[in-house]
Every structure is written in structure tokens, then in C-alpha cells.
């Protein structure tokens, strides 16, 4: 069996999780890493035994050995890196959101259309078994036509302050996009109107709280809640829930509660068992499933179909409309 | 990369799940299948594209290409097949319980000791991230010394009647062994005394309900509840919970609730998202993690350490003592 | 001890619950009943041993023995009955919503201002211990300033179809008003802007689903969800939850789950233990607490302060704005 | 309406709760209080405006005005006070457990048999709406014959150390008796055999943890868990759950979770909303319902039937057998 030669660009917290997962996959050879910070680059490369390191992603893209890359950088850098990687013929796994603007998404899609490399944006929730089982149930007609949805994706206030996440991205664009993508996926419909409200509590670039209400073409209402400001004593890392009500049934997802609560001297904890937990030193979970799917597409030479670039762009478009509504106080028609 | 040549012996419901998982692992080559039922053998072999098929496991064991086998048969057949497979030098993944008696466990361990093949019994819960995170928390001292434990592992009555599971194995031996193994693993202690009660409701070979109370060497109490008789309308496939109380903290596991509830015309469902769910046609979950671990041991040429045969035998010994107590009404000293 | 002489006007389902609760209160003498339906009047009067019966509420109001009345009629009749009762000098307990329009509320308040009778609108949730404990915690400053709220008050579709509740009142006016009142009470703030969406699924006078998003003067966002269209298999009578997030803490109420689940041949049930459950033939719960509070005010000769008519009118005003927004698709400024 | 003239004997924490509830009941006149501690007596008497105070309960019993008494003293004092009160012709509400031994229970029952006063032991859970609804469902045959039960009644370790509750009563006798009584009530059966284990962690007179397993005459198994040693960070005041499995259905009670969680700077709290919460300065809940029932029996001149002295004695007998089993390590036949 041939292994896919893989590189990771961007080595913040989540870039390293990518590296960790990839280094444990039997059909992947993690061959190169890239970050602008030399010290960090050395540290992560040593941890995972990666020999090739780059501080300039353009140099990495010149390496003919590299077949596929994970792009795990700030969203504002997505456009340039993704376009360049696709032009270099690499298969690109791009973290969400696809890009900061619809124009940037268009540029990336254009580059993908003329590249031999495939492109997939990391809407990880589509590989969360709870969400994919919900999708399967909807497709089987078990809940009929969807008429109302509500998604919560709330984080404790410390998590969004250290490092200063809220200087980097807004709650709606950062987390609301997950549930917006899920709603678009489940309904297979388009958003017709968007109304949103932001609430600013602390002194960051972006507000602490975002709410959005969508009306879909299929007549459903979808409501997005992102409170990046839960109390310090919140007993979970994330409060992520979704309620999907259809004409024939309903689905309830509680993604912040995967069945374990640890009560120790520091308080209550509900550790992640779904996204990227480690079991006996193996990184398992949705990220691994997602990367496995992407790697399989690379190996088979097919374009990913579970998530398409057009879908990823649509989620960005809706979030941009939500931010516009929150800024103007008006309803935005799409 | 070389793939491990793998065979599955026993193709009931769970044997096929093994085949399904193994056929999706990049470093495994599922080369052979075995069951006494020719029609079933053909059906499963075709589904997973396996060319070699056997109705006699002894013939399969003569195949030099086969490096590793999953034994997924009735527990009463475990001893003969496991001993023969180990004598044939195969690596053996044996489903739980290890065997029906302590004597059978001893025979298997003896065979393993003189085999070049490794042996691991499938205590899958040790690869459930909730349980392995609990183990990690205990090892880190986060809850101090364990003083009280309660495990529930209850099933709806239809599941234990069709097929006639209750004619095949008792609740304590069939499911109580999971939690007994976890308690032994977490406390790293031995069971000193066992008291148990069975309740018979329906007309099967084995009783419908088993309860056991253990006193451990470290002074903890552990209580096992296995009710294979929940009402038809039970909204989950399994009600599996564990409460672990220590001198410095506590851990609560709710393994029947992994965060999704589907309400359709047939009622409420909480589908499996942890043990062997399918996500976009990929079988993921604890069984895959467990088999990956086993395959990695085979590839590296090391004996599995996450579960050892001696530990598996100990769990059988405790369950045998529980059945003795339930039969006699007396406390059994171990 | 003197008992308060009490009458109930309106004997639908909930009017009878009033009669049942009142007949069990030691300091109340249920002396009269009124409904336009003679057969129903006779039936309920016999059940609770009430001697005086009326088919015309005006006749009842002429009875000098009657000191206090519960008005439990259709909301469209609230104005006339409440005004007449107050003019007749009775103490009036008026079920929610206060009235169908702000103008009607004003007329009732005007009548109350010049009456010797007190007036209280039945916002029962303020007497739900979960809600009143939340109010107390907010008043004590335990969660700081409120910044985000979400309330769910969803009902199974059968409950809103038989009898044809949805031909009588809309989800927002019928149930959304509960949570709107609670949000106004908790924040002690005013609603600045209202945006709402209705979804029509079945063929009733009113839509099946209502959603509203408020911006409060204190800068908080409040979101109201009323889905009167949950699936038949919904395992509870009501899904009523509220999330209140403040700068220093948070409160979560789950009013649909008061700690008992019964699984019988018909499915899962979570019976009411808070609002008006019967315990050994005694009707207890929030309705009784609320009526006890009202009766105590009558006995002491003081105006109720836990709920004031001005507050009840404000909740109606916000719901009317929500219906206007849903009809026009525009944001409504208050 | 005449009010019942009532006295409270014993003014610890719970005696004061009795006084608080009684002082708010419209058909009760709280006329006298008794405790051996003069300072405490004065404090509580002033708080509730009670004019008659006694440091010797015998003096109080001589007061002809007193019709009924709540006895809320240490269990070891129950026999003498209850016998004397019944001999004095008072109606006696005696807190649980009835007495420390079966002999003491017999003495109290003998006194009750020849007294004009009624006797009721305060098994408050029978007035918890969750439990009484469970009893009603069982009586209606909705879950068939009961075959397995498990009750948990666990408390945080601070609650059992300050004041030194564990020097006063054991977990099984103190709290296990609640669930034992409920099991006896629900099954209407007798306990045939008892096996129990205690675990000692801290240095109190009684062990910190008690477990008991019963076999009933109707063939059901019942398991009692009382861990008075939960971690400090436990987010509820009590973890009280019961699982009742029958041949036709099942009932699950979660009495530690009545639908509100407050997250403030000190952590998570799930305040009581069922037993004796205060709503707008009114004490409501199960204790009030229980005392109302008792007062109604006094007013009507009938013996209480919801709880009988013989039933209360039976619960004490089972707990004594459990303590014997825990001490000897043997199964006790009843």
C-alpha cells in the first residue's frame, strides 16, 4: 500500500492536532510542516519526527514529494495559501471557514476548478457521528420535512479570551458557521432572509455573543446561538446542541455531552470523546474520520463529495449576511 | 507498508461487524472467513470481497497466509478454537468472555504462553473513550482511592429474546463481565467476596436479571446490575452507566447516551455513536480502535498490554463466583 | 378564621383545574361557578359541591356573597368580564394573557384603578419554584447583568389540535407570553426591538410555530421559541426550558423535566409534578401557590405585588409587536 | 373554620423547617415550641411569633391547648417522646426513622393503639409528587409486577460531616430507610433476605457508605445505595434516583434534579424545588403537603392511611437487618 505524502501549514493549537492525527494514520506519511515561527516549527517537527520544515509556505508548495496539505492558518490567510496550493497541484484540506469573504471563496473555487488537486473544507461536524446519523435519518425521511431548527454552540469565556480568539474572529463566523453549514446540509435548501444580533460584553475586536434567525426557501426557520461568554464554572468545554423538528419527527443532538463527567478538585469536566480524544495514545474521533475520508479521496483520485467547495462558500455567504444584519439592525435578503 | 493478513472465525451478527470494520482498515487485508453455515459464509464473503472461505476452522488455521484471527463464536467454543489457533502460531483476537470456565481460561493462557502469536480478549469497553478517559483520570489520581462503584448494563427485553440470547448466556456472564473487568482495571485490586441474585421472569435457559455486589481488597464496594428485561418502549439500545466514587472525586459515565435522540414514527431512538457506528460508509468507533490496537501490536511484534489474558481470566473467575452465589444464596469468598 | 368566598367564571379544562384547586384550599369557600354551557355547569358544580351556578357572568357578579373570581375564559372575553367584575367590586384573578390587545389591557387597568377589588393576571410561571428561585438568584446578583436568554416552550402537535387550540390563539400569544413575561421580570428592562417569524404547517387559524428575537434596553438579547408541533412520540407534555446567561453566571431551567419518567405500553411519559399535580387526592403545585398568594392578598386587603397589571400589559404589548413583525417581515421598534 | 393547635418538639435545622411550614398553613395555629436549649428556643419562638415555649417536653405535653405535635428530635429520643405524647392524647407526627430498634417501634405502636391521638411517621418521600405518581402508576398496573429496583440517595461529604451527622446515624438507617420504605410501599411485598456492605472512609462513629441488596417475597430484587461521601464539587444537594422495573414497564425517578441549575462564582447548584422550597416567602413542597395531610386527618378525626405505624416499623426492621448483615458479612433471613 502506498501512503499519501502529507504536509501541515499552520501550527497553532489545531494545526498540531492535525499533525498528531495524521502521524497516527497508517496510510499517511507526514513529510513536511510549515509555520512562520521557527521555534514552534522545530518543536512540533521533533515531536512527530517530521524531517522537512518550512517557514514560508511557498517553499513547501514547491516540494514535489508533498501530495496533500492541511491548511490550518488564520482565516484571512486562507485565500492566498489555498489558491497557491491548488495552483501547485496539491490536494487541499482547508480548515473552516473557507475564507473571510464570498469573493475570497470564489477565488479559491476558481483555482480548484483548474487544479488537479482536490479541495475540501473542514466542516468537521459532518463527520461527527451524531450529525451524520441525523443527516442519514433526514435523508431516509424519518422526520419528514424540516420546519424548525435551533443550534447552540456556546463556549466558556476563558476559552475565547486566552488566546484572544475574539480579536481574531467573531462568534457567528467562528462557530455559527458550523451550524449554518449543518442546517444547509440537512434541509438541502437555501437561506432566504437573515436577521442577527450581536452583544458586546468585553473589550475585544469582536462581540462576545451572536444570534441569527434564518428563513429558508423550504419555509423552515433556523436559529443560531453562539455565546462565547459562558461562566467560568461551566462544566463542559462546549455547550453544543441542535434541535431539528420535522413534520413527522424530530432529532435532538447534544454534542457537549458525550457521556462522561469527571468531578475532581477543580470542579466538573465533560471531556471530549467525539472530536479528537486520545485513547491509549491513539488520536481517534471526528477529525481523524474526516482526514481519513479526505485521504481516501486522494488515494482513489476522486473529488470529495461529503463536503463541496460550493457548499462551504454558501455557509460563508450566510454568515456575512448575518454580520451585516447585526451591524445595520435590518433584515437581509439573500 | 505491509498489511496484516486477517481472518474472522464465526459470522453471527458480531462476526460480520468484525469483518466490516476490518475490511475498512488500511493496514489490514481481510483474506479469509469461517462459519459452519455455507449460505451465510457465501453471503458475507461476497459482501466484503473475501476470496477464501472455510466451514471448518481447522482448515482455516492451516492456511499459512493467515497471520491473525478474530474469534467471534459462542463462548463454549472459545477454548478449542483459541488453543488451536495459538498452536498454529496465529495472533488471536478473542471476543469476551474469554471462556465459560476458569479451567478453559487456563488452557488458553497455557497455549498463548508457548505460541509465537499474541492473544487479546475483546474487552471493548477499555477502548470506549469514556472508559479510557475514566481510567486515565483514576491513574492521574484525580479522584483519589476508589471507595464505591455501581455499574448498570441493561437491555430491552426484545434484544435478549430474538435471537434467544438468554438461552445462550446469562446476564452476569454476558454483560456483567464488561463492568467487572472495568472495575478490576480501575481499582487494580482483587475481588474478596461476591454476593449475587438472579431473577427469572421469562422461560429461557438463563434468568432475565442479574445483580452482584463485590467487596474489593482495597475495601471498595462494587455493584453490578444487568437487567436484560427493560420494557419494549425503552428509548435506547442499551442503558449502560457507571458511577465511580473516590476519596477525592467521582466519575460518572453514561454510555447509553452519546448525544443524539431521534424521535420518529416508531418512537425514540438513541443510536450508537461510540461502539461501531457508520459515518459516510466508514465503520468507526471503539471496535475499530480496539482492532487497530491489536493490529498495531501484530505489526510491531509485541504482546498487547492494554488487556492481558490474566486480566481476562480474572473477570471470568469473578462472574463464575457470582453465578455460584446466586445459585446457593451464600456469600462466596475468592 | 374567615374564608374567602370565591367563584370561577369559565369552565373549560383549566377552569375546572381552578375549581379543583380552590375546593381544596382551607381558607377558600368555592361558592359559585359560571359557564354558558348548562350541562357542563351542572357536572362541575356537582363534582365540587358548589350550590350557586350561573350561565351569565353578569348575574354572578351581582351576587354580593362572591368576594373574588377567577376568570378562565377565552382571551377575547377577558376585557368585558374583568372590567365588569372590577366595577362590581370583586377581586379578580385573570388568566393570561391579560387581553388580546393593548387597548383592552388599558381598559382593564382603568377599571382596576377605580375598583376596591384587586387585580392579578395569572402568570403562573412566577410561582413555579424553578422560576422564582431563578428570579431570587438574579436579584441577589449571583449571575451579574443578564446578556443573553433563550426560552423554549414547545408542545406536541396533538395537544394543540384537540381541541383546536390553534384556532383560538397563536403560539407566541398563547405560550410565548409566559417567557416574555419572565424575561421582562428577570431583566427589569424594556424590549427595544422585536423581530419574529411564524411557520404554518397545518390548516388552523394560527401558525404552528412562532419564533421571536428581542433586544432589551439593558442590551441583552432574548429569544423566544414556541413550536406547537412536536412529534406524537414526544416523551413529555411540554418541552419548556430557559437559559439565562449573565456577566457573572448562568441559570438553566428545564421545566419539562421534573424528575419522573414512566415507560408503559403507550410509551414514555414525564408527568407534571410542578404545575398542578395531584398527590393523594390533594391538588398541589404552582397554581395552588399562585391562588394562595392571591387569596392572601384578598384576606390582608393588599394589592398583589408579585405580578402587577402594568407588567401583564407590557407582556401583551411585546407579543403584539412580535405578531406584527411576523406578519410584515420587518423589525418592530417599541 | 377552627385551626389545629400545634407544637413542635425539637428545634434543630429540621425542627425549624417544620415550624416555618406550620406557621404558613392557614388551618394551623402554631402555639408552642420545645427544645432543651433556651437560647435557640427564644430565637425560633420570636421568629415565628410563638408565645408558649418549653425546655422540657413533658411540660409541653401537659398543656391542654396543644392538640398535635411534630417530634423532630434525635431518633434515640423518639420512643419516650412519642409514647408520652400519645399517652397525653396528642396527635403525633413523628419524623423518620420511627425509632432506633424494632422494640422501640413496638412500644410506640402499643401507645398509639390505646391513644385517642393519631400517629404518623414522616416518610416524606410518599408526598414527593414524583414518588406518589410512581405509586399511582404501579397501582394502575401500568408497569406490571415489579422485578428489579435500584435506589440511590447520595450526599456530599460536607453535608454529613458538619454537623457531625455521621456520629448520629448511619447512611442506611438515616437515608436508606427512605428508599426501603418506598420499595415496601410500591411492591406491597415483604423483604425475605438482606445482604449489606458498609464502607468506612472517615473517622466518624458510623461508616460513610452503605449498600444493601434485598430479595422480596414477590421475587423482586431491590438494591439500596447510600454514599454519604460525594466530592465537594458535587453540583447538587442530593443525588436521589430510583429505577423501578416491572414486567410491563419501568419508572425512573431523578429526585436530585428538579429542573434548575444555577452556575455562579461558587460553582453549580441544583436547589431544592420539591421538598421545602420557599416561593415569595411561602414555604411550599412535600413537607407542607405531608403536614397538610396530617392536619386534615386531625381535623376529620381519622387515622392517617397514607403511612401507617406498622409500615414505618417494617422499614426500621429491614434497616436493622441490613446493619446486622454489614457487621457479620452474612445474609440475614427475615
| Residue where the block lists cell 419555509 | A219
Q: Is C261 on the interface with B (CB under 8 A)?
A: no
The predicted structure's pLDDT at residue D163: 80
Q: Using the beta-carbon criterion (under 8 Å), do D329 and B193 form an inter-chain contact?
A: yes
- Concatenated DSSP letters of A63-110: -TT--EEEE-S-GGGHHHHHHHHHHTT-EEEEESSS-SSHHHHHHHHH
Nearest Cα residue in chain B from A254: B259
Average pLDDT, chain D: 96
Q: Using the beta-carbon criterion (under 8 Å), do D1 and C249 form an inter-chain contact?
A: no
The predicted structure's pLDDT at residue C202: 97
Q: Using the beta-carbon criterion (under 8 Å), do B133 and A258 form an inter-chain contact?
A: no
The whole-angstrom distance between D9's CA and the closest CA on chain C is: 25
CB C295 within 8 A of CB C279: no
Q: What pLDDT, in 10s, does the model give residues B61-106?
A: 999 999 999 999 999 999 999 999 999 999 999 999 999 999 999 9
The predicted structure's pLDDT at residue C43: 98
Among A245, A248, A331, the residue with its CB nearest the CB of C331 is A331
Distance CA D165, CA D205 (A): 9
CB C92 within 8 A of CB C119: yes
Q: Using the beta-carbon criterion (under 8 Å), do B247 and D221 form an inter-chain contact?
A: no
| Of A255, A209, A256, residue with least CA distance to A234 | A256
Among B231, B263, B265, the residue with its CB nearest the CB of C263 is B231
Indicate the burial class of C29 (C-beta count within 10 angstroms; 0-12, 13-18, 19 or more). Answer: middle
Helix axes B309-328, B177-187, angle to 10 degrees: 120
Optimal mutation site among B273, B296, B302, interface A, most CBs of chain A within 10 A: B273
Distance CA A325, CA A102 (A): 16
Q: Using the beta-carbon criterion (under 8 Å), do B235 and C234 form an inter-chain contact?
A: no
Q: Which residues of chain B fall below pLDDT 70?
A: 1
Among A231, A263, A266, the residue with its CB nearest the CB of D263 is A231
Nearest Cα residue in chain A from D232: A265
Optimal mutation site among A279, A299, A302, A304, interface B, most CBs of chain B within 10 A: A279
- Give, in degrees to the nearest 5, the angle at Cα B190 between B185 and B196: 100
Confidence of residue D29 (pLDDT cuts 50, 70, 90): very high
The percent helix, strand, coil of chain B (3-state, each to 5) is 35, 25, 35
Q: Is D209 on the interface with B (CB under 8 A)?
A: yes
Q: Using the beta-carbon criterion (under 8 Å), do D231 and A268 form an inter-chain contact?
A: no
Q: What pLDDT, in 10s, does the model give residues D301-312?
A: 999 999 999 999
Q: Using the beta-carbon criterion (under 8 Å), do C260 and D134 form an inter-chain contact?
A: yes
| Of A288, A300, A262, residue with least CA distance to A128 | A288
CB A321 within 8 A of CB A332: yes
The predicted structure's pLDDT at residue A144: 98
- Give, in degrees to the nearest 5, the angle at Cα A251 between A246 and A253: 145
The whole-angstrom distance between A231's CA and the closest CA on chain C is: 5
Distance CA A309, CA A98 (A): 8
Q: Using the beta-carbon criterion (under 8 Å), do C148 and A215 form an inter-chain contact?
A: no
| Of C134, C285, C224, C138, residue with least CA distance to D260 | C134
The whole-angstrom distance between B59's CA and the closest CA on chain D is: 47
What is the pTM (predicted TM-score) of this model? 0.96
Among B223, B245, B329, the residue with its CB nearest the CB of D223 is B223
Q: Which residues of A touch D233 (CB under 8 A)?
A: 263-268
Q: What are phi and psi of D208, to 5 degrees?
A: -85, -20
Among A231, A234, A263, the residue with its CB nearest the CB of D233 is A263
CB D295 within 8 A of CB C151: no
Q: Is D247 on the interface with B (CB under 8 A)?
A: yes
Q: Using the beta-carbon criterion (under 8 Å), do D267 and A233 form an inter-chain contact?
A: yes
Q: Encode burial over D156-186: b for 16+ CB neighbours within 10 A, e otherwise.
A: bbeebbeeebbebbbbbbbbbbbbbbbbbbb
Q: Is C24 on the interface with B (CB under 8 A)?
A: no
Q: What is the total residue count of chain B?
A: 334
Which segment of C206-210, C236-240, D40-44, D91-95 scores lowest on mean pLDDT?
C236-240
Reply yes or no on whether the pLDDT at D1 is more than 60. no
Q: Is D211 on the interface with B (CB under 8 A)?
A: yes
- Concatenated DSSP letters of C125-171: GGGSHHHHHHHHHHHTTTT-SEEEEEEEEE-BTTTTTSS-GGGT--H
Q: Any idea what DSSP says for residue D156?
A: B
Nearest Cα residue in chain A from D235: A268
Among B3, B254, B284, the residue with its CB nearest the CB of A129 is B284
Q: Is D215 on the interface with B (CB under 8 A)?
A: yes
The whole-angstrom distance between C301's CA and the closest CA on chain D is: 16
Q: Is the peptide bond before C97 cis (omega within 30 degrees of 0)?
A: yes
Q: Which residues of B touch A258 (CB under 8 A)?
A: 129-130, 258-259, 273-274
- Neighbouring chains of A at 3+ CB pairs under 8 Å are B, C, D
Distance CA C234, CA C231 (A): 6
Q: Are strands D332-333 and D191-199 parallel, antiparallel or unpaired?
A: antiparallel
Helix axes D177-187, D309-328, angle to 10 degrees: 120
- Cα separations (Å) of B281 from A287, A289, A293, D125? 16, 11, 10, 50
Tens of each residue's pLDDT in chain C, 334 residues: 589 999 999 999 999 999 999 999 999 999 999 999 999 999 999 999 999 999 999 999 999 999 999 999 999 999 999 999 999 999 999 999 999 999 999 999 999 999 999 999 999 999 999 999 999 999 999 999 999 999 999 999 999 998 889 999 999 999 999 999 999 999 999 999 999 999 999 999 999 999 999 999 999 999 999 999 999 889 888 999 999 999 999 999 999 887 999 999 999 999 999 999 999 999 999 999 999 999 999 999 999 999 999 999 999 999 999 999 999 999 999 9
Q: Using the beta-carbon criterion (under 8 Å), do B280 and A127 form an inter-chain contact?
A: yes
CB B80 within 8 A of CB B86: no
Q: Is A183 on the interface with C (CB under 8 A)?
A: no
Cell numbers describing residue B163: 435471537
Q: Is A225 on the interface with C (CB under 8 A)?
A: yes
Q: Which residues of A touch B137 (CB under 8 A)?
A: 262, 264
The whole-angstrom distance between B330's CA and the closest CA on chain D is: 7
Distance CA C66, CA C6 (A): 6
**ipTM computed for the complex:** 0.96
Sign of torsion, CA B13 B14 B19 B20? positive
Optimal mutation site among C156, C266, C267, interface B, most CBs of chain B within 10 A: C267
Among C150, C249, C331, the residue with its CB nearest the CB of A231 is C249
Nearest Cα residue in chain C from A195: C195
The predicted structure's pLDDT at residue A1: 55
- Residues whose CB is less than 8 angstroms from the CB of residue D105 and which lie 6 or more positions away in sequence, other chains included: D98, D99, D309, D312, D313, D316, D317
In terms of phi and psi (left: phi > 0; alpha: psi -120 to 50; beta: otherwise), the region of D199 is beta
Mean pLDDT to the nearest integer, D158-163: 88
The predicted structure's pLDDT at residue A235: 87
Optimal mutation site among D157, D231, D233, D269, interface A, most CBs of chain A within 10 A: D233
Q: Using the beta-carbon criterion (under 8 Å), do C147 and A250 form an inter-chain contact?
A: no
Q: Using the beta-carbon criterion (under 8 Å), do D227 and B148 form an inter-chain contact?
A: yes
The whole-angstrom distance between D54's CA and the closest CA on chain C is: 27
Q: Is C308 on the interface with A (CB under 8 A)?
A: no
Q: Which residues of D touch A256 (CB under 8 A)?
A: none
Give the distance, in angstroms, between the CA of residue D161 and the centroid of all CA atoms in the same chain.
19
| Residue where the block lists cell 408503559 | C264
CB count within 10 Å of CB D275 equals 21
The predicted structure's pLDDT at residue B132: 97
Q: Which residues of B touch D152 (CB under 8 A)?
A: 150, 243
Q: Which residues of chain A fall below pLDDT 70?
A: 1
| Of C86, C69, C67, residue with least CA distance to C35 | C69
Indicate the burial class of D75 (C-beta count within 10 angstroms; 0-12, 13-18, 19 or more). Answer: buried
Q: Using the beta-carbon criterion (under 8 Å), do C268 and B265 form an inter-chain contact?
A: no
Q: Is C49 on the interface with D (CB under 8 A)?
A: no
> Which of B 85-144 lie inside 8 A of A, CB atoms?
127, 129-130, 132-134, 137, 142-143
Q: Which residues of B touch A279 (CB under 8 A)?
A: 127, 129, 132, 289
What is the Cβ-side half-sphere exposure of residue C112, based on CA atoms within 13 angstroms?
Answer: 24
Reply yes or no on whether the pLDDT at D227 is more than 80. yes
Distance CA B272, CA B238 (A): 9
Q: Is the peptide bond before B97 cis (omega within 30 degrees of 0)?
A: yes
Amino acid at each position: 500500500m502506498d501512503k499519501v505524502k502529507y504536509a501541515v501549514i499552520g501550527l497553532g493549537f489545531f494545526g498540531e492536532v492535525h499533525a498528531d492525527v495524521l502521524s497516527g494514520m497508517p496510510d499517511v506519511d507526514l513529510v513536511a510542516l510549515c509555520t512562520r515561527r521557527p521555534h514552534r516549527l522545530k518543536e512540533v517537527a521533533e515531536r512527530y519526527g517530521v524531517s522537512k520544515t518550512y517557514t514560508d509556505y511557498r517553499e513547501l508548495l514547491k516540494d514535489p514529494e508533498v501530495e496533500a496539505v492541511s491548511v490550518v492558518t488564520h482565516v484571512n490567510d486562507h485565500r492566498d495559501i489555498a489558491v497557491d496550493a491548488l495552483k501547485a497541484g496539491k490536494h487541499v484540506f482547508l480548515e473552516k471557514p473557507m475564507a473571510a469573504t464570498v469573493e475570497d471563496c470564489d477565488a479559491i473555487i476558481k483555482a480548484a476548478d483548474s487544479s488537479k488537486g482536490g479541495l475540501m473544507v473542514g466542516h468537521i461536524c459532518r463527520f461527527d457521528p451524531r450529525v451524520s446519523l441525523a443527516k442519514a435519518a433526514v435523508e431516509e425521511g424519518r422526520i419528514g420535512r424540516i420546519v424548525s431548527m435551533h443550534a447552540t454552540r456556546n463556549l466558556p469565556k476563558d476559552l475565547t479570551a486566552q488566546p484572544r480568539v475574539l480579536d481574531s474572529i467573531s462568534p457567528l463566523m467562528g462557530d455559527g458557521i458550523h451550524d449554518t453549514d449543518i442546517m444547509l446540509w440537512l434541509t438541502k435548501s437555501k437561506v432566504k432572509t437573515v436577521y442577527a444580533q450581536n452583544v458586546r460584553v468585553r473589550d475585544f475586536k469582536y462581540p462576545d455573543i451572536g444570534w441569527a434567525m434564518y428563513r429558508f426557501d423550504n419555509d423552515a426557520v433556523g436559529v443560531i446561538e453562539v455565546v462565547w461568554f459562558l461562566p467560568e464554572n461551566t462544566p463542559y468545554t462546549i455547550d453544543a446542541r441542535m434541535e431539528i423538528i420535522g413534520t413527522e419527527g424530530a432529532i435532538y443532538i447534544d454534542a457537549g455531552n458525550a457521556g462522561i463527567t469527571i468531578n475532581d478538585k477543580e470542579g466538573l469536566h465533560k471531556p471530549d470523546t467525539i472530536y479528537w480524544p486520545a485513547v491509549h495514545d491513539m488520536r481517534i474521533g471526528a477529525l481523524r474520520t474526516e482526514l481519513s475520508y479526505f485521504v481516501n479521496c486522494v488515494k482513489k483520485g476522486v473529488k470529495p463529495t461529503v463536503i463541496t467547495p460550493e457548499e462551504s462558500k454558501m455557509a460563508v455567504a450566510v454568515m456575512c449576511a448575518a454580520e451585516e444584519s447585526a451591524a445595520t439592525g435590518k433584515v437581509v435578503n439573500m
